[in-house]
Chain A
Amino acid sequence: MRETKFNMNALVLVVIIFSAITFFATIQLMNMSDMQALNDSYPVEGTNVVVRHSTLIPYGIYEGEYEATSVLKVEGNFGDDWGVALVGNTLIINEYTHTNFNLWLCQLVRVDLNTYEKTVMYRDTMLRGKCASGELVCLTDYLEPSNQPATNGLCQLYALSSGEFRAGEVCATVLYLDPNTGEELYRVRDDEAVDVEVLETRYLARTLEEVRG
């Protein structure tokens, strides 16, 4: 190959160098994911902590309700929009992350409110509330439908090494967690549970025993 005029190795090398320059210019220098101005606070009931989303200060869990005196304890894009659980002095909450091309991911994390240590419980999992008998209901093995998995090649690449995802399809497993210990109680595969109405009527409105039965 060395004596040929057209050399693939040279082409690949040129692509690498060219991409490195343009990627650092477009993706690393400009953070494409943070375009909206916002300043929201969501106090967590029964605690002294606030989930804060702000353009001016880092996203995260802050101690103290008043913005001027509150102190950042855990940095991250947390969301109590679908529910949050307080187990003793431990907070179970959704954390949103994204890849550098903006594939949105959600993971369920546990935050110790004494030490403010964060532990990831389940990746690709979203807490969606409590069922009629009080257990925490989560969607797991789940990529947000907003990622457009049917047309998003990156979702397919993400799915390739997973035992659960299927490319081009919105799929999910419903996971029940003990509200006191955070332990897994039951899981059932149901791709339709991604639909809010289906999740509400089939899982959130019923007790765990009814779902099991």
Chain B
Amino acid sequence: MRPQAAALYRMLTLRHWTERLFKIAAVATLVIVLATLAALLLDAVIDGAGRLSWQFLTSFPSRKPEEAGILAALVGTTYLMILTAVVAVPVGVGAAIYLEEYAKKGWFSRVVEVNIANLAGVPSIIYGLLGLELFVRAMGLDRSLLAGALTMALLVLPIIIIAGREALRAVPPSIREASYALGASRWQTIRYQVLSLAFPGILTGSILALSRAIGEAAPLITMGALTYIAFLPDGLLAPFTVLPIQIFNWVSRPQKGFFAAAAAGIIVLLVVLLLMNALAVYLRQRYQRRLYL
């Protein structure tokens, strides 16, 4: 029996080491991700924290780096995100409900499914070109807040649909069956059972999709959103600018002062992003608690 015991012992040590090695590798990947994020944050904070002030948040862009502010871009981004959500969330959720709850599973729904997944991977600049031709030129909306929001809505729509479908699929079929058994119609089942259960997931997916849109500059630059704007958008058809475009413009200026302004702009963008994500977490918590009480 002795030799066998030795072999067993060797095997166990080997397993033990494999186990350890895997754990180290997993921790290492986490450290790499966190370190990159920390380095980025630190870099932005070091360069931009000194520039951050009430004046910076409430001033319009200027040729003088020390007077330049981010107000027009901050307000532009806020309006754009709200409008994008108003357009994209109902359409996206509606499409998800149709695909999950109504559509017959067949070749048609499979084709649609593959196409939506593909659309989610299309580079954002392509959406910008589409927005330029469709909304700016063909529909004559010009380079307005509305044209920008519609372009962004197209960009986030596939992500919202996919997230919405995941959330609907996670609702157990037994809930639907119970609802039908009690005599509820399909609409009543979807409205009162399925949607309320899927709501936190849909909400989180939608807000995360919008968080992606908030950092996008490429489609809006292609669409022709503007760089220098010293007033606030005063209507759906008003010209606008957003945070990433303002940051991009400052980074490409020769004066060192604009570099600090760009870093401060990045901090503002990150804070807005964190607020949105925090909102997503908060809403999810709140509604989940309600549902399971």
A is bound by B: no
Q: Which residues of B contact A (CB under 8 A)?
A: none
